[in-house]
Amino acid sequence: MTRSPSPQTQVSDMFAQSTAVLAQPAPRTFERFERRGNVGSALTYVALAALVSAVVAAFGSFFHSDVTFFGQFFSRLIGIPLQFLIFTGAVYLIGRHLFKGTGQYSEVAYSFALFFVPLSIIGSLLGIIPLLGWFVVGPLVTLAMIFFGFLAVQSSMNLRDAVSAGVTLLLSALAYMAVGAVLLGGLLGL
């Protein structure tokens, strides 16, 4: 009987893989790791980023009278994994159906988690610094997310054509915003 690795081992392995992806940005780097994990391990890793963001936002609520500690904490803890699933689902569906990508959803989720988590943690921790976080860290993290997302689409969906990968990423962002608007409208009763 074989034992599956413990969550700590998986997370430590994913940190090492994230380091490789960030230090050697290329589709082939993502290719080395995309089949080592699954959706569950990707979500475990994303939950770590959600927890860091939730804690930072919750403590940040003490400096803002219009938000609450628990509201910030739970909205991040639930919202970040949900947003991750929506976006990576859009990448998979658009890449597969519009551009005949051959990747699996598990490869998309795992590849995206490898860069999303460390960049998200950096953004959460440094984003609380007034001005630096808002005007420097935020835009830099956003640009890095786009760059690594482009590479991850090429790798995980096996779309080597730059235009197909770029359009997949762009349409996924639009689909993500549309789903977000529908969900927000539903919550607000619009």
**pLDDT averaged over every residue in the chain:** 91
Give the separation between CA 111 and CA 88, rounded to whole angstroms. 10
CA-closest candidate to residue 176, choices 90, 71, 67: 90
Q: Confirm if 52 and 121 have CB atoms less than 8 A apart.
A: yes
Give the separation between CA 92 and CA 39, rounded to whole angstroms. 13
Q: Confirm if 123 and 141 have CB atoms less than 8 A apart.
A: yes
pLDDT digits (tens, 9 = 90+) for 118-151: 999 999 999 888 788 888 999 999 999 999 999 9
Residue type at 81 in one-letter notation: P
Is 1 within the bounds of a domain?
no
Is 2 within the bounds of a domain?
no
Is 26 within the bounds of a domain?
yes
Q: Name the one residue in this structure whose structure tokens are 């860069």.
A: 115
CA-closest candidate to residue 40, choices 16, 11, 19: 11
In total, how many domains does the chain have?
1
pLDDT of residue 9: 52
Is 94 within the bounds of a domain?
yes
* Rg (alpha carbons) of the chain, rounded to whole number: 17
Is 33 within the bounds of a domain?
yes
pLDDT digits (tens, 9 = 90+) for 82-120: 999 999 999 999 999 999 999 999 999 999 999 999 999
Is 156 within the bounds of a domain?
yes
- By CB atoms closer than 10 A (0-12, 13-18, 19+), residue 84 is buried
In this prediction the pTM is 0.91
Q: Confirm if 71 and 61 have CB atoms less than 8 A apart.
A: yes
Give the separation between CA 182 and CA 70, rounded to whole angstroms. 24
Is 81 within the bounds of a domain?
yes
pLDDT digits (tens, 9 = 90+) for 28-70: 999 999 999 999 999 999 999 999 999 999 988 888 788 899 9
* Enclosing domain of residue 52: 8-188
Is 83 within the bounds of a domain?
yes
